[in-house]
Amino acid sequence: MLGIKKIEVMSTTERCALVDRQGGGVSIARQCHMLGLSRSTLYYKPTGVRLGELAMMRVLDALYLEDSSRGTRRMARELNKRGYKIRS
């Protein structure tokens, strides 16, 4: 049989696509079980990262490259100095 993958080598996305959400006789819970998926995986919708968080991540990267020995407290202090609200 050409073109048919085994369930074990399929990605999660591919397995989710196989679920018949219209309920063609087999419950969604049963289909997920047979495909080796949890139902939460089927319903999960990823959220994006906010622009403010991306900017803060860039600052963190720059600070780390500047001095990799900074700990979390010093990093938080630096971020607070730059206007980010960080609890330490």
For residue range 12-71, list pLDDT tens digits in order: 999 999 999 987 789 999 999 999 999 999 999 989 999 989 999 999 999 999 999 999
Q: How far is CA 53 from CA 41, 44, 58, 79, in A?
A: 25, 22, 9, 12
pTM value surpassing 0.95: no
d(CA 88, CA 78): 11
**Predicted pLDDT at 19:** 92
